């Protein structure tokens, strides 16, 4: 082998050893939720669109909602705390039009203010089990407002939906153990009624690991059967901080289509939700 070719091979091997895990090498995605790990602060961005179309193609209704929030996690496993520290919401649809910003003064004439403001600053108790799995969320019922809680805003008051939304922050591998680069595993997520999303399973794959960052691809379960007349798909990516034992950032796009019967009229429903979570 020529010296130049030999040096090139050495350089490639060195880059793999220093820069990250080679394919097949194992890394730990285990959460680290013990003493001294918190507080941790995150931003949460979500945009959701819902359309209902009458059979034949005539538009019936279109709804859009966006939420920009910051939240903080405290405590230590097995009892964590979580609270929203700020929140902005915009909503446009037949049931409601409006905006909410927690930095503004309270407005009891604003339906969104009445729904969202109780969430801001309210401390929730989050109990976690093995490998960071959220076992329960306490403190939602006491602040749940009456009336309309649209789309993903309503899901924030449902303990099961809330768990589905925020579980990835604490764990992306609920069965624990190390993962090889290139290896995939299943990740079960609960239903999100506000988005029309049923309980589902994702397939996650560790694509690379360099330094403290594990890059994970999120895709649908290839064997999933959402049901007759229904289509669902979620894709995305996440970065897990292996040193911190906590999510660094996540981005997903979820889409669903299904048909409902409203008084004998067939309606085709379609929703898309884009979510971005990032540790500050």
Give me the pLDDT at residue 11, please. Answer: 38
What is the DSSP secondary structure assignment for residue 163, as one 8-state letter? H
**Mean pLDDT confidence for 226-249:** 90
Q: With contact defined as beta carbons under 8 Å apart, do 244 and 224 qualify?
A: no
Q: How sure is the predictor about 16, in pLDDT bands with cuts at 50, 70 and 90?
A: very low
Could you give the 3-state DSSP secondary structure of residue 68? Answer: strand
What size, in residues, is the chain? 280
CB atoms inside a 10 Å sphere around CB 124: 20
Q: How sure is the predictor about 6, in pLDDT bands with cuts at 50, 70 and 90?
A: very low
Domains located in the chain, CATH noted: 25-279 (2.30.230.10)
Best-predicted range by mean pLDDT (166-175, 195-204, 264-273): 166-175
pLDDT digits (tens, 9 = 90+) for 77-116: 999 999 999 999 999 987 778 999 999 999 999 988 988 9
> What would the two tokens of residue 229 be?
């007349």
**Mean pLDDT confidence for 116-133:** 96
Q: With contact defined as beta carbons under 8 Å apart, do 190 and 234 qualify?
A: no
Give the Cα separation of 252 and 235 in Å (integer).
Answer: 6
Give me the pLDDT at residue 18, please. Answer: 38
Please state the φ and ψ torsions of residue 39, each to the nearest 5 degrees: -80, 155
Q: How sure is the predictor about 228, in pLDDT bands with cuts at 50, 70 and 90?
A: low
pLDDT at position 68 over 50: yes
Give the Cα separation of 85 and 100 in Å (integer).
Answer: 14
Residue 261: beta bridge partners? 266
The mean predicted confidence, pLDDT, of the chain is 86
């Amino acid at each position: 082998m020529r010296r130049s070719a030999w040096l090139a091979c050495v350089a490639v091997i060195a880059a793999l050893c220093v820069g990250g895990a080679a394919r097949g090498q194992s890394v730990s995605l285990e959460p680290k939720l013990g003493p001294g790990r918190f507080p941790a602060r995150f931003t949460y961005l979500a945009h959701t669109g819902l359309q209902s179309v009458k059979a034949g193609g005539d538009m019936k209704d279109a709804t859009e909602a966006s939420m920009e929030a910051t939240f903080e996690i405290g405590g230590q496993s097995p009892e964590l705390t979580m609270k929203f520290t700020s929140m902005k919401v915009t909503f446009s649809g037949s049931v409601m039009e409006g905006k909410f910003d927690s930095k503004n003064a309270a407005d009891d004439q604003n339906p969104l203010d009445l729904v969202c403001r109780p969430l801001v600053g309210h401390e929730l108790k989050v109990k976690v089990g093995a490998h960071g799995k959220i076992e329960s969320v306490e403190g939602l019922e006491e602040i749940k407002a009456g009336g309309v809680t649209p789309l993903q805003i309503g899901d924030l008051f449902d303990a099961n939906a809330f768990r589905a939304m925020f579980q990835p922050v604490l764990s992306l591998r609920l069965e624990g153990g190390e993962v090889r680069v290139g290896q995939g595993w299943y990740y079960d997520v609960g239903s999100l009624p506000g988005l029309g999303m049923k309980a589902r399973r994702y397939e996650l794959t560790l694509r690379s690991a360099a330094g403290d960052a594990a890059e994970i691809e999120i895709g649908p379960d290839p064997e999933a059967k959402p049901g007759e007349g229904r289509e669902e798909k979620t894709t995305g990516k996440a970065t897990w901080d292996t040193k911190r034992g906590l999510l660094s950032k996540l981005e997903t796009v979820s889409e669903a289509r299904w048909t409902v019967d409203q008084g004998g009229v067939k309606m085709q429903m379609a929703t898309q939700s884009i979510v971005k979570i990032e540790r500050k």
